[in-house]
Amino acid sequence: MLIFTLRRFNLFIFTMLLLTILSFSLSFLFPGEQLINLTGQIDASPEQLAILADEYQQQSGLLSQYFSYLNHLFHGEMGYSMTSNLPIATEVLNRLPATIELTCVALLVAMFFGLPVGFCAAIYHRKLPDNLILTIAMVGYSIPVFWLGLLAILVFSIQLGWLPSAGQISLLFEIEHVTGLQLIDILLSDSPYKWQAFQDATRHLILPVIVVALAPATIFMRLARSAMLEVLDTHYIKAANAKGLTFSQIIYRHAMRNAVIKVIRDVGLQFANLVTIAMVTEVIFSWPGIGRWLIESIYQRDYTAIQGGLIVLSTFIFIVHIIIDFVYAALNPLAREPRNGKR
């Protein structure tokens, strides 16, 4: 387990190194002055710029410039937004929780629906349910997400009027910003309208989550189906069959657990995909998350914000990736230590 942890840690360091180099070089690549791109101080006077240049060690070589940039990053200083003049760190902290909420709920929903349906398809391999599920999955991951979002708004918000179409919560409710995760903040608050607020926030969450979760759910269906087919083909299933266990016993006790492990290994890779979908969905549903902020920063040529957003969003994805790796290792002894058994 120690080696496993060290390896993951090593990978994390290497990844962060590459990412920071990437974002540092972006400040050169973006149009305009490099120092201004890096700090976001567009209105600074020449004296202030001189102080900043000193702070970021502009006179020395590239390597020490990079290290001073790293140093600033470690202290949580990512410069100032070129449009709002607020520190990027504050902007990000205000918006990241909304994205975390949306993506994590969507990931759970996608797994919760995708896995059982995929298993079902594998059990009825090459029969009607299997073909039906495969067809739905094909359409599901081919559908353009912005179109799906618009259709969902038209049908469920405008025509049927069941669910709200934009935002995170109705403006009537005043919720104190504690963790930033709306649902948890509501539960922590002592407002007398706590439950109404909670209901309202949940209603706002439903449509975006379904839109984000659809494509990953269909991918999980396919992953779960092929994992289950692989497991059902193994010798221990045949042995269990020969022992005279019933079909449901085999599925629930033996096949399902082993198939779930195989799927979990690939969840990390799908998460990056899910975040991409979430970025577009945030724009459509006016969700106050980091994806919408990033896309707006491009319209406004806010290069400091793009840089900061890249670092934060990718770090978030890597952290989720590593957490999923650890969950996988915790569930599967084979991945932890080779001596636990042969593959």
CA distance 304 to 35: 10
Among 213, 217, 260, 313, binds other proteins (CB under 8 A): 313
- Asked whether position 104 contacts other proteins by CB under 8 A, the answer is no
Among 4, 5, 8, 15, binds other proteins (CB under 8 A): 15
CA distance 42 to 51: 14
Residues 114-143 that bind other proteins (CB under 8 A): 138-139, 141-143
Residues 28-67 that bind other proteins (CB under 8 A): 29-31
Token duo for residue 337: 């230590």
DSSP state of 154: I
CA distance 194 to 175: 9
CA distance 257 to 19: 36
Among 19, 52, 93, 229, binds other proteins (CB under 8 A): 19
CA distance 130 to 109: 21
Dihedral of CA atoms 271, 276, 277, 281 in degrees, nearest 10, equals 130
Choose between 66 and 193: whose C-beta lies nearer to other proteins.
Answer: 66
CA distance 49 to 53: 6
- Asked whether position 70 contacts other proteins by CB under 8 A, the answer is no
Dihedral pair phi/psi, residue 240, rounded to 5°? -65, -40
Which of the stretches 83-91, 122-130, 256-264, 276-284 binds other proteins when contact is defined by CB under 8 A? 276-284
Which of the stretches 15-23, 45-53, 57-65, 203-211 binds other proteins when contact is defined by CB under 8 A? 15-23
Residues in contact with other proteins by CB under 8 A are 11, 14-15, 18-19, 26, 29-31, 138-139, 141-147, 150-151, 154, 158, 269, 272-273, 275-276, 279-280, 283, 294-295, 298-299, 303, 306, 310, 313-314, 317-318, 321
